[in-house]
Amino acid sequence: MRTGNRKVKLLIGIAIVLFAVIKYCSSAETNPYTGKEQHISISEEQEIAIGLQSTPQMQAQYGGLYPDDNYQAFVDNVGEKLVNNSIAKKTGYQYDFHLLADAQTINAFALPGGQIFITYALFSKLENEDQLAGVLGHEIGHVLGRHSADRMSKQDLTQGLLNGVAVGIDPSTAQGAAAIANIINMKYGREDELESDDLGVRFMIKAGYNPEEMIGVMKILKSAAGPNRTPEFQSTHPDPENRIQKIKEAIKKYKTSQ
């Protein structure tokens, strides 16, 4: 009796895993802007809706918008220049750039569909317009690369696998699987960051900015880290040294293809 029960559980577990894998694999598509193969289960319209819906929450989390309209206009101007001169304009995304009031947290991020944010803490550390273009270009890269949507599908897959293992075998194994799944997802995150740096350099060159200043941004991030403090931006991003090398390669690649 007990053995039979275990068999049924195992079969259900396998079914859950198979369902998650099939769903993930059937969502394969090539990103038209980066040429990369991805697994995405939501549409561009859904990405835009998710981004717009989460924007007020994001703003509240970082102390609202920065009160100075001139700075906000400056951020808008640089962001629009990057979009209007690159493939970003050819997408259906709606780009909005938000300067957040938070003067402590060094951070910049993008929601799916085109909502892009930079904190005053990071903004005030930048030395010139080109560096701001570097930060915003990187974030536009996340939107175009559809990195959030990609990660959402991966999380779905991970959850499906974990549920399957938990039902089919036992929870202690599921924990082991969770640890492995985490590492896999982190690795993808890193690749996303490097792809965004690469796209950021490409947008900077197209819009007439000096792409070398992307390296300046990395140096600012590195020195902002300090001995005991890791800024949020950096905890989710690869080591700036590592990124600098890749940025140099991207500059060479896009400059010669102009």
Q: Which residues contact Zn ion (rule: CB under 5 A)?
A: 193, 196
> Whose Cβ is closer to Zn ion: residue 130's or residue 193's?
193
- Taking the least distance from each CB to Zn ion, the nearer of 131 and 196 is 196
CB of 200 to Zn ion, least distance (A): 9
Write down the least CB distance from residue 142 to Zn ion, Å.
Answer: 6
d(CA 112, CA 91) in angstroms, rounded, equals: 13
CB atoms within 10 A of CB 72: 15
From CA 72, how far away is CA 69, in angstroms rounded? 5
Q: Which H helix or E strand runs over 97?
A: strand 96-100
Taking the least distance from each CB to Zn ion, the nearer of 193 and 198 is: 193
Least distance to Zn ion from the beta carbon of 108, Å? 7
Tell me, what amino acid is at 160? G
Rounded distance, CA 33 to CA 17, Å? 31
- Which C-beta is closer to Zn ion: that of 17 or that of 126? 126
Could you give the C-alpha distances from 237 to 50, 186, 187, 189, 222, in angstroms and in order? Answer: 23, 10, 11, 8, 11
Q: How far is the CB of 76 from Zn ion (least distance, A)?
A: 20
For 95, counting Cβ atoms within 10 Å of its Cβ (0-12 exposed, 13-18 middle, 19+ buried), the class is buried
Closest distance between Zn ion and the C-beta of residue 55, in Å? 18
Closest to Zn ion by CB, 13 vs 200, is 200
